[in-house]
Structure 1
Amino acid sequence: QPQNVIEKIVQRYAVNLPTPSHKVAQGDFVSIQPEHVMTHDNTAAVMSKFQSIGAARFNNPQQAVFTLDHDVQNKSEKNLTKYRSIAAFAQSHGVDFYPAGRGIGHQILIEEGYAFPYVMTVASDSHSNMYGGIGALGTPIVRTDAAAIWATGRTWWQIPPVANVKLLNTLPEGVTGKDIIVALCGLFNNDEVLNTAIEFTGKEGIAALSVDERLTIANMTTEWGALAGVFPVDEVTIKWLRDRAVYLARTQNRKHERINDERIQDLVRNPLLSDSDANYAKHLTLDLATLTPHVSGPNSVKHATPLTTLEQQRIKINKAYLLSCVNSRASDLRAAANVLKGRKVADGVEFYIAAASSEVQKDVEKSGDWDTLLRAGARPLPAGCGPCIGLGVGLLQDGEVGISATNRNSKGRMGAPTAQAYLSSPAVVAASAVSGYICGPQSLHPTNPISKTFAAFHAHPQSPIITYTDNATQTPPAKSAPADVIPGFDGTLRGEILFCDADNLNTDGIYPGKYTYQDDMSPERMAQVAMENYDPGFTKVAKKVRVNDILISGFNFGTGSSREQAATALLYAGFRAVLAGSFSETFKRNAINNGLIVLEAPQLVSDLRKAFKGGEEVLTRRTGWDATVDLVGGSVGVGERRYKVPPVGRAAQELIVEGGLENWVKNRIAA
């Protein structure tokens, strides 16, 4: 069975497969034993979860990495006490620990080789996608998963559909990797890559991208909606690794345990490539030669505008930011310094900068770029997340406008909900800070050589050339053999379909926020308030639920907050399974971690909408359709019709039989 590179990496880290020769494929539920798992400030919450499940020691202390990076500006005794407790916990268990000030966790994992080509490294943070910039498979997990990995070494993953994103030709001078991902988020803004893993291809286009640019693009595949974004390992990657190995050996006076000549040579001798006939769920292309600088926003990555268009609007800014895990490496700070040489930040503008790590800061201090930024009026912050996640000084106030080289500009993320946030490349942020309105370096006095390049974009505006193909509408993705059945798992589900015809039904609609922190909510009470914000009459329908009745909803079910109760409330309401057109990945993880089966059935949703369209609006409908779900074979039968769904593999079966991930871990600790 042919495999793409995503599937091949998962194959290396999959455990407890049905047979030694079993090949994993998109859609499979698999148990994984990742190379590393990173937690940051949320380590404290994972510690609590770890202790609550009765774990006393780590299965493999070298698998875990702790980094403190989010709230590093907070010097309150409460936060410092938390940081000390994490440090002590790391020391007592022999876990690698990086204190506040060392840098952002994702950058540290790249610098120190925890993320390495062809490895699978996960993190309890959404931007673990960034590791794909060097050919690793990085993907986010939730806190319960992290505790499970600490205790047992493993968790589960459903291999997502894989999208092939081909970057054709090469970028014009002055256009950056940040422009690529900002444009992709805006050009393909209808969930084309939602919950996919992206494999970037296109030899010519990728070869011209630096590792820093690849890390930027991979990082923001998170905002694009993907669960991973993986670049090929090529000569650029190998050279970066070799240079890194030399640097580490010189500065640490020893051979680095993860980035060293032997490991790099193994990559060269044993490249991991997609098979020529590998299957992809989707194909997208972007002609890089047609791309111009783009700006994202305001307040959404789905809206990207050519810089030349925004410049004409002369949008006044109050704050500018050059920080975060996506664009605060040495090359980013250098690009901003090149724009700011001999210039000053405009009156009335606050320009905040922070390096991605202490190592990056030493680099730019040595080169003089840091001093250039400070002389121009930039305000330094410690290496860490800070304003990017709405923590510390410099946040956007009511009615203010900010332009940032960060990765996320959702409403209220960087401060007041009434503020407006735009995203762009470091050079554009720097130029905007100087002029006081959103612009590129070409709008400053022409003393900088890159101004001529940007000027060409004004003279010859163009729209980027893109293509998109969804293979699901043509030939279905190849599937691996049906999963085997573990003892105690009932592979068949029969019941009536209850239909909630809504897209983007969020966790607040499923389980209202006002109950989230009421710790005394009994399972019975949670069942009573399930779906209360979506449909106050839901419980009148659900209380009639028969054993194994099936709840079906629209697309992107469970979006929004990560509250776990959104899944458990439905379980307590009597549902063994929820089907939908698609799910929020966080909701899916919370559901399966608690033993609730969730399966994508987009065609069944489409047919339900055709059958029940028009007439009186009913939020929750008993359809009268009886369905039989083959959980192992991966199908739903409704009368004479058959619909494909992902088969429930061994990893998910174990969690369902044992009543969720916490019980699964407790049972293995007891064993």
Structure 2
Amino acid sequence: MASLRAGRSLQRLVRSPAAARPQCAFARARGPVTTYLHHRPRHLSITSARWQAEATDAFPSLLANTPPDVLSRPAPTPTIPQTLTEKIVQRYSQGLPEGKFVKSGDYVTLSPHKCMTHDNSWPVATKFMSIGASQIHDKNQIVMTLDHDVQNKSEKNLSKYRQIEEFAKKQGVDFYPAGRGIGHQIMIEEGYAWPGTMAVASDSHSNMYGGVACLGTPVVRTDAASIWATGRTWWQIPPIARVNFTGVLPQGVTGKDVIVALCGLFNNDEVLNHAIEFTGSTTTMRSLPVDHRLAIANMTTEWGALSGLFPIDDVLKGWLRFKATEANMYRAPTQTASPTSQRFNHERLDELLADPVTADKGATYAKELFLDLSTLSPYVSGPNSVKVATPLAELEQQSISINKAYLVSCTNSRRSDIAAAAKVFKDAAAHNGGKIPKIANGVSFYIAAASLPEQQAAEEQGDWQALLEAGAQPLPSGCGPCIGLGTGLLEPGEVGISASNRNFKGRMGSTDAKAYLGSPEVVAASALQGKIAGPGWYERPDGWTEVKKGEGDGIKEEERMISIEDALDKLVRDAEAAIQEAEQRLASATGADGSASGTVPLESDKTDSESSSLTEILPGFPEKVTGEIVWCNADNVNTDAIYPGKYTYDDAFSSDPAKMATVTMENYDKNFGNVAKPGDILVSGFNFGCGSSREQAATAILAKGINLVVAGSFGNIFSRNSINNALMGVEVPKLIERLRTVFSPSPSATGKAGTAPITEPSQNKQSLDSPPPAPQAKPSEQELTVRTGWTFTWDVRRSQVVVREGEGGDSWTQKVGELPPNVQEIIARGGLEKWVRKEISSAL
């Protein structure tokens, strides 16, 4: 058996060139019925004890794959090991060549199981109609919710809400009105985010679906419009990181503490633009109930990741069984089945659990991190940054007074969270003559459940009333203060602590306020005491020294059990890695024909091996793109630096390319327009295009006559917006290193020294869903935009770039990822909207 396993593993060394070739990031059962759930039938009484029993009476196993639902095609038997992420994407990819197994880096045509939009449904609908679509391609694929600005009763907002509701009714899609709940929570509790499927949403916290083993990831509005019209969009599978949990979560420590600690302890962009898979032993994962997992997955967005996926294990199975039973019980007397029970039912679960898929042994991960849960204590994030995480005990010693406390958002305002907050006050009542104590003088405490059913469940258990009795102010179920909308925002000089997910400066109110993040019980205890505090439920173990975390899986060698088969697999994987590394070094040192680096073989000189690995070039797409490099030496050039927010909502300005061209990169360098010329190739540092979701960051560069951007890496949303608008991009880290060596000899001119932040305007609502603006180098420290005299050529057919370092200078080549035909097609047609128009007209 061992030799057979080794033989099968060795077969993986023989792969077709197409399968082995890396791909670059950025170049690299329901009927048709509209659901109106203003008020779900009221819950039957469920005791807290029963809920806890259902949630914990499970024994997680490390399952990491998912069977197809009734709408997806069976996955082929793998011959190449795949991660859980890759296996799910495989199921929802269309047009794959026979025998193709998708891997990290691949571009795929994606038809997700579900697509959710919220208050942005009308802008998406406007795009949808502007591209000539009239009927949603698959109404069972689409979910619409209203959740962001639910406190806004202005006629303008109410009119928008009416438009969305009428559109949803006309199209026959599932619709949830304002006050019913936050869209992400609805996706979870209504069974749209189903284990083993892929669901997307035009919102950055779609990662939350990973808490129930559904691959959730955000898309931009143009993607959503494309899915509405055709059922499809494109996606590039990100690098995949495995985060292994060890130990057991101590009493008094929550999932919120886990993710706050991860954001603060691994705060050097370790998982930026990665897909995360969480793993751990059965005992470890048993200490993380589903609600904890949802909080962790939700805030992987703030950690910088594009998804955060937990396995299908016994903890999840127990939760799913409970939800199926609950859905069957809570139907109206006249119903044979509730809408929810059509998604949550035991028959569907039987099908899911009959063949729960796991990540393959030997699957490749870009990196691996570990965190020992046993060494964690309660953590608090901030102020004003998720990258700053401090043990609660240290902050308690500082007696930090607060003005406002918030138990809100899709991160932590479910029934279990409300129960934890209420317990703080109920415990305190034992020392107050049995009477619920009031919150501290001068503190306002705001509460909003993640959904109406969660609030109803908390009312059934008496927890909601306990918080109201303590003086909490209830808000309708929705995003509200979490995104800086509605009642209770932070005023200048105030300090707030929230159970939500973002505390960027100005996110929850004034930019002159301080915002911290903590677990529901820490928020409640802080409201009670008037300062950042905990309920005292955590006791540090004897002999504790530090939080144990790092790279690798965190398993001590003496504790590791390995079979002969696994040992042979490890040897083969090590050999594969060594061969691949050698091949990459050889490719970097020589041209494709074996000649010295810097030469490009002629078409007639191609070897048979090279011919088989050439990328197909579609009509209308250039085989090569060439231009002079214009160098903008800074990392984290954000969308406000590329296209200032003050123009973003000026429709007349943003629809005029000539005007847009005059302000391109204005907030980065006001002289950019005088230096850069049409046909140039814009080159910048790492994480180019981070920030908001504005598409104008891409279209402004095109307006300037620049068709190709090169960077060390790109912000994910910018990458999507660029391809969607026919702006090409390719990642070449080596080029950034060379340019910095030649043009930036001084350490102070690296773009990391001298921090004069570019601030997003307060009226730029898109920035509420984006990372904070990145610091840029002071203009006095460097020439911000440089005409280098270097020539850059991207050979798309050969998936390589050629750089000539000035007239008569050296030249060198570098292999880059493939730009496959499906992405070429979008760019050649002028962007995703035009691609959709073509698809619609072809279908007529």
The answer, yes or no, to whether TM exceeds 0.5 is yes
3-state DSSP of counterpart to 2:839 = helix
Aligned residues: 655
Q: 2:615·2:796 contact (CA, 8 Å) conserved in 1?
A: no
Change (3 A) 1:357 1:31: same
User: Could you list the per-position Cα deviations for residues 183-224 of structure 1 after superposition, in whole angstroms to 9, with x for gaps in the alignment?
Assistant: 000011111111111011112322321000000000000000
Is residue 343 of structure 2 the alignment partner of residue 209 of structure 1? no
**Is the 8 Å Cα contact of residues 676 and 787 (structure 2) preserved in structure 1?**
no
User: Partners in 2 of 1:597 and 1:164 — Cα distance?
Assistant: 30
Pairs within 5 Å for 1:184-195: 184-195=262-273
Partner of 1:654: 825
Give 1:85 shift. Answer: 1.4
Offset of residue 589 of structure 1: 1.2
Shift of 1:542: 1.8
> Does the 8 A contact of 2:381 with 2:518 survive in 1?
yes
Partner residue of 2:474?
A: 380
Report deviation, 1:96.
0.4
Residue aligning to 1:447? none
Specify the alignment match of 1:254 in structure 2. 337
Residue matched to 1:285: 370
Q: Normalized against structure 1, the TM-score is what? A: 0.94
1:532 aligns with 2:666: yes
CA distance in 2, matches of 1:481, 1:62: 39
Answer yes or no: is 1:515 the counterpart of 2:651. no
Where does 1:141-540 land on structure 2 (aligned, <5 Å)? 141-203=219-281, 204-252=283-331, 253-254=336-337, 256-341=341-426, 342=429, 343-442=437-536, 450=537, 454-456=538-540, 462-468=545-551, 484-521=616-653, 522-540=656-674
Displacement, 1:481? 7.4
State how far apart, in whole Å, the 2-side matches of 1:633 and 1:477 are: 20
Kept in 1, the 8 Å contact 2:93–2:108? The answer is: yes
Conservation of the 8 A alpha-carbon contact between 2:255 and 2:295: yes
Relative to 1, partners in 2 of residues 1:289 and 1:633: Cα closer, same or farther, differing over 3 Å? farther
Partner of 1:69: 147
Paired position in structure 2 for 1:624: 789
Judged with a 3 Å threshold, the aligned counterparts in structure 2 of structure 1 residues 358 and 276 are, in CA distance, closer, same or farther, namely same
Q: Note if contact 1:482-1:647 (Cα within 8 Å) is conserved in structure 2.
A: no
Aligned partners of 1:120 and 1:136 also within 8 Å: yes
Checking the alignment, whether the CA contact within 8 Å between 2:370 and 2:552 is kept in structure 1 is no
Shift, 1:632, TM fit:
4.8
Give 1:20 shift: 2.2
Deviation for aligned residue 1:152: 0.7
1:389 and 1:324 mapped to 2: Cα distance? Answer: 9
Deviation at residue 168 of structure 1 after TM alignment:
1.0
Pair 1:554-2:685 in alignment = yes
Tell me the equivalent position of 2:94: 15
Corresponding position: 1:634 with 2:799: yes
Shift of 1:234: 0.3
Amino acid at match of 2:392: L
Q: Structure 2: which amino acid aligns with 1:170? A: V
**What does residue range 19-58 of structure 1 map to in structure 2 within 5 Å?**
19-58=97-136
Distance 1:486 1:262, change over 3 A: farther
Amino acid at match of 1:503: D
SS in 2 for 1:520: helix
Matched residue type, 1:220: M
| Counterpart position of 1:610 | 741
Q: What letter is aligned with 1:500?
A: C
Shift of 1:533: 2.3
The farther-off stretch of 638-647 and 45-54 is 638-647
Aligned equivalents of 2:582, 2:693: Cα separation in 1: 29
CA distance in 2, matches of 1:637, 1:212: 51
1:111-122 aligned within 5 A: 111-122=189-200
Alignment correspondent of 2:704: 573
8 Å CA contact 1:604–1:643 kept in 2: the answer is no
Query: 2:442 and 2:637 mapped to 1: Cα distance?
Result: 42
* Cα distance in 1 for residues equivalent to 2:207 and 2:581: 26
Q: CA deviation at 1:460?
A: 6.8
| Cα offsets for 1:632-652 (capped at 9, x unmatched) | 543323355333433212331
Contact 2:191-2:344 at 8 Å conserved across structures: yes
Name the residue aligned to 2:600: none
- Higher Rg: 2
Structure-2 separation of matches of 1:591 and 1:467: 35
CA distance in 2, matches of 1:356, 1:236: 22
Give the corresponding residue for 2:840: 669
Q: Is the 8 A contact 2:480 2:486 kept in 1?
A: yes
Shift of 1:494: 2.5
1:396-435 residue CA offsets vs partner (Å, 9 max, x unmatched): 1110100110001111111111110000001111111111
Q: Which residue of 2 aligns with 1:445?
A: none
Letter in structure 2 aligned against 1:378 = A
Question: How far apart, in 1, do the equivalents of 2:836 and 2:516 lie?
Answer: 43
User: Are the structure 2 counterparts of residues 6 and 414 from structure 1 closer, same or farther at C-alpha, using a change threshold of 3 Å?
Assistant: same
Contact 2:377 2:540 in 1 (8 A): no
- For structure 1, the 5+ residue unaligned runs are 443-449
Displacement of 1:266:
2.2
Q: Shift of residue 490 of structure 1? A: 2.1
Q: Distance in 2 between matches of 1:440 and 1:99?
A: 36
Alignment partners' CA distance in 2, 1:292 and 1:662: 49
Structure 1 residues 497 and 42: CA distance shift in structure 2, 3 A = same
One-letter identity of the residue aligned with 2:302: E
Whole-Å separation in 1 of the counterparts to 2:227 and 2:300: 25
Q: Shift of residue 311 of structure 1?
A: 0.3
Compare 627-636 and 330-339 and name the one that shifted more: 627-636
Contact 1:129 1:138 in 2 (8 A): yes
RMSD: 2.2
Aligned residue identity for 1:363: A
Amino acid at match of 1:298: P
Post-superposition shift, 1:455?
Answer: 4.2
- Contact 1:116-1:135 at 8 Å conserved across structures: yes
Runs of 4+ residues over 6 Å off in structure 1: 473-482
1:233 aligned partner, one-letter code: I
SS at structure 1 position matched to 2:151: coil
TM-score using structure 2 length = 0.75
Structure 2 CA distance for aligned equivalents of residues 270 and 14 of structure 1? 20
Who is 1:446 aligned against? none
SS at match of 2:652: coil
Distance in 2 between residues matched to 1:477 and 1:142, nearest whole Å: 39
Structure 1 residues 350 and 581, CA gap change in structure 2 (3 angstroms) = same
Gaps of 5+ in 2: 1-79, 430-436, 554-573, 585-611, 747-780, 805-810
Equivalent position amino acid for 2:740 in 1: R
CA offset at residue 626 of structure 1? 2.3
1:281, 1:477 within 8 Å by CA — same for their partners in 2? Answer: no
- Matched residues in 1 for 2:101 and 2:238: separation? 15
Counterpart code for 1:604 = L
**For residues 199 and 370 of structure 2, what CA distance do their matches in structure 1 show?**
27
| Matched AA of 1:409 | N
Change (3 A) 1:460 1:364: farther
Q: Distance in 2 between matches of 1:653 and 1:534?
A: 30
